[in-house]
Structure 1
Amino acid sequence: MSKNSKAVVTFILGAAVGVAVGYFLNSDKKDEMVSKLRYQADKLKDKFRRKKEQFEEAVENELS
């Protein structure tokens, strides 16, 4: 592939991503999707916190 054709493909791909992001930001589903992402992030934070506490307890028990 020549340098010019790679540039054209990259430009078209960038434009498509830009259009998709613009559509997402203007859609009515944005708030619903953001809400779902926040919910999933909160679940992951809780899971991480529990694993951290379990690890700390295991280290404390091992050192005692």
Structure 2
Amino acid sequence: MNDQSKFIAGLLLGAAAGAALGYFLTTDKGKEIVDEIKSAAANAGEDVKEKVKQFESEIESAVEKGKKWANDFGKETDTSTTT
């Protein structure tokens, strides 16, 4: 099979697959599957947003603890060097 024949075969196969998929998506079952995918994608997006908010909160807490620790450590160092 030469390159031109392979190209035409691939083109026809792609067109057939596209037509079959297009037909399937217009059926009731296809529409139902599309709706389920949309719903799952929306839920996943909300889950990601919630995880990001949780992560931000944990980071802020860790930063505050670090600041407090550094401040306390600085006070201990200042006190021990002046006595």
What is the TM-score normalised by the length of structure 1? 0.75
| Aligned residue number for residue 43 of structure 2 | 43
Q: Which residue type is aligned with residue 14 of structure 1?
A: G
Structure 2 contact 25–31 (Cα < 8 Å) conserved: no
Count of residue pairs the alignment pairs up: 64
| Higher RCO (C-alpha 8 Å, min separation 6) | 1
Instruction: Write the distance in 2 (CA, Å) between the matches of 1:15 and 1:7.
Output: 12
Q: Which residue type is aligned with residue 59 of structure 1?
A: I
Structure 2 contact 24–30 (Cα < 8 Å) conserved: yes
Q: Mind listing any 5+ residue stretches in structure 2 that lack a counterpart?
A: 65-83
Structure 2 contact 25–34 (Cα < 8 Å) conserved: no
In terms of fraction of residues, the more helix-rich structure is 2
Q: Mind listing any 5+ residue stretches in structure 1 that lack a counterpart?
A: none
The within-5 A match list for 1:1-64 is 2-64=2-64
% identity of equivalent residues: 36
Q: Report which stretch shifted further, 52-61 or 17-26.
A: 17-26
CA RMSD of aligned residues (A): 1.7
Structure 1 residue 48, shift from structure 2 partner? 0.3
